[in-house]
Amino acid sequence: MRGLALLAALLLTAPAALCASGPARIGKVDTTFKLLGRNDRIVVDRYDDPRVDGVSCYMSRAETGGIKGSLGLATDPSRFSIACRATGRVTIRGTLPDNEIVFGASANWLFKEIRVSRLWDAEKHVLVYLVWSTQALTPEGSPYNAITAVPVDTP
């Protein structure tokens, strides 16, 4: 019984972000009432770019409720949005690759992940952030994605 409680605690913490500093939960909105377990909801998290000072990304995503969602066993739908903004002076630390996964969140305790990639548009001096999802069990993957951009002033 004690092992089951430990397993449930681990599953409830599974949606933690992959970014070292982790996300800051800005808030949540319940969308669908569930009689058992928590309600379906939309959560909004802030991620600070670990290699670019002064850029924060705000991502909203759907989370499944009910018993499976409360235990971390449900697969969250691939519905999300992203808005990245300059929240201070934008300073790039070192050199950035043209394409890098900068952070992500688990949408299922085992199979699915939401990722944010940073792309560099050198011609326009713009950081482009793309949110997308992976799913190990479907051959076609997920076409759902969202994009945002942050201009970088050049000295």
pLDDT at 76: 73
Q: pLDDT per residue over 30-86, tens digit each?
A: 998 888 988 889 999 999 999 999 999 999 988 888 888 788 777 777 788 999 999
Contacts made by residues 21-25, CB under 8 angstroms, sequence distance 24+: 21/48, 21/50, 23/47, 23/59, 23/103, 23/105
Q: Answer whether residue 12 shows pLDDT above 90.
A: no
Q: Answer whether residue 2 shows pLDDT above 50.
A: no
pLDDT at 128: 97
Residues 6+ away with beta carbon under 8 Å from 97: 120
Torsion of CA 96, 101, 105, 107, to 10 degrees: 160
